[in-house]
Copies of this chain bind each other. A is one copy, B any other.
Amino acid sequence: MSYFTEENSADAVNARIGADTDPRLREVMTALVKHLHAFARDITLTQDEWDYAIGFLTRTGQMCSDERQEFILLSDVLGFSMLVDSINNRRPAGATENTVFGPFHVADAPIREMGANISLDGKGESCLFEGRVLDLDGNPIKGACIDVWSDNADGYYDVQQPGIQPKWNNRGRFFTGADGRYSFRGIKPVSYPIPDDGPVGQMLGHLGRHPFRPAHMHYLVIAPGFQKLVTHTFVGGDEYLTSDAVFGVKQSLIAPYERLEGADTVWRSPFDFVLVPG
């Protein structure tokens, strides 16, 4: 038995894990302690810095409520959420890539007819979204559910503005037929800041980072016999594409927005979703 020292610190802590501990918990905690200790050692973390960090973590926890999850926000802006998403959704070439789910999905959105308009507040530039749901061989997938949600032209989701926006504004579910095609009308989404009035926003400020996300549509695509796809399509040309506050952008998810001449619907954004069996 040797006591804790600066040199053996992580091993000393991990040696305490009991024999009956769940093997995965042991693996996770052993790695966590190893990396946390290496972090402190690499930069010779001072006591004052650690005291500040304790206060930061405490404020972050105390900012959380039923409507606000500041720790998820912290994870998002450190790229940790995207890394966890990436690690757990490795896909073959040709499949549509995943990105972060985000906090604004609402289950059981209305099921709408193909071509229906999900924008209920009359704001924004109308856009036709259309494309197909395909397998890796290019065959259409029948019975796929495309669950879509986006912010309105003011940059807010309906759940952020109850009583101001109509319920289910810019949300809907669409089921594909035998041709795998989908189409609906919505608006060209706009960029918006993540909530930055808490500790995470302060941190971004200290790091010289802005809180904006590039404009995007959220999609959850589910089809029997295929892996669930959680993704966005991003508006090509958005000024924040290369500086998304939460690192959600992937090149393959940037969708074209084509301007339509002389129509009520002023944009068209085509995009095919390619699902992986599983």
Contact = CB atoms under 8 A, between A and B. Distances in A.
A39 B87 CA distance: 12
Interface stretch (A43-51, A108-116, A126-134, A167-175): A43-51
A142 interface: no
Nearest to A4: B247
Given A38-B35, A58-B64, A28 B3 contact: no
A207 B41 contact: no
A80 B47 contact: no
Contacts of A249: 3-4
Given A57-B57, A64-B58, A249-B3, A39 B31 contact: yes
A161 interface: no
Contact of A40 (B36, B39, B44, B84): B84
Interface string A1-44: 10111100110110011111110010111011111111111111
A71 B58 contact: yes
Interface of A: 1, 3-6, 9-10, 12-13, 16-22, 25, 27-29, 31-47, 49-50, 54, 57-62, 64, 69, 71-72, 75, 78-88, 90, 206-209, 242-243, 247-251
Closest 10 CB pairs of A and B: A61-B61, A18-B208, A13-B79, A6-B86, A4-B247, A35-B39, A35-B35, A9-B83, A58-B64, A31-B43
